[in-house]
Amino acid sequence: MRTVGFAWTIIAPHNGFASTGPRFVGDLLGLLFGAAFGLATRRHAPRPWLSERSILEAFCLALAFTFALAGVGKGFSMLAMTDFFTQSGYSVAFLKFIVIAEIFGAMGLLLPWARIPAWFGLTIDMFGAVTTHIHNGDPLNDSTGAIGMLIRLILVAILFELQRGQPQRPEWAFRAVFRAALGTVLCLFIAIPGAMAMRLHRASTPNTGQTSTK
């Protein structure tokens, strides 16, 4: 449904449904993420149910489609994204890197052996988006999408840790939450100085697009 909605935004960008349809599907996916954990609390043994491989695979598939479409969407709106990145102090090369990183990160979520590095990369990316909006003084509404994706990434990390351990043991649930929180904090501490470094790098790099006339 998200893919069809995204394709429709390209075919008919000025259609009213083109802007509301994909947003509705995205909100529905967010609701399903929360509903899965809500249903788990109603079960006698929620931890084994949440650690089922099918639950984790479904969440990773939903996240993969979301990030892949986000990366492709940036590619189809390079002019607007270039303006945003340059106004935020980043280079066009960094924008291209983010587009490629989101697409490959989405692919990594579908591969069990690449899931951990993909999770770290996408979480750093979302923290970078939030910190960029804060740096620009943008309203909170501009960061809600990235915040929502961060929440889903954290939930996936918890499910991944539950699956790797022994969900029937009560202490393992706390351990899974602690590890997911530790990884999230690590991504935050990487994203903040990383964004600052990219802005400083662009500020110190001469503008090669301008030629001097003598």
Surface-to-core class of residue 12, CB atoms within 10 Å of its CB (0-12 exposed, 13-18 middle, 19+ buried) = exposed
Tokens of 19: 């802007």
- CA dihedral (206, 209, 210, 213) positive or negative: positive
Q: Please check whether residue 58 is in contact with residue 113, taking contact to mean a CB–CB distance below 8 angstroms.
A: no
pLDDT in tens, 133-151: 999 999 988 888 899 899 9
Please give the residue that has the higher pLDDT: either 214 or 53.
53
Percent of the chain with pLDDT over 90: 39
Q: Which amino acid is at 11?
A: I
Q: Residue 187: its pLDDT value, please?
A: 96
pLDDT in tens, 94-122: 999 999 999 999 999 999 889 999 999 99
Q: Please check whether residue 178 is in contact with residue 162, taking contact to mean a CB–CB distance below 8 angstroms.
A: no
Q: Residue 142: its pLDDT value, please?
A: 85
pLDDT in tens, 50-87: 777 888 888 898 899 889 888 888 888 888 899 999 99
Q: In which residue are the tokens 């990487």 written?
A: 190
Contacts of 4 (CB under 8 A, 6+ apart): none
CA distance 164 to 47: 12
Angle at 139 between CA 24 and CA 121, to 5 degrees: 70
Q: Residue 193: its pLDDT value, please?
A: 94
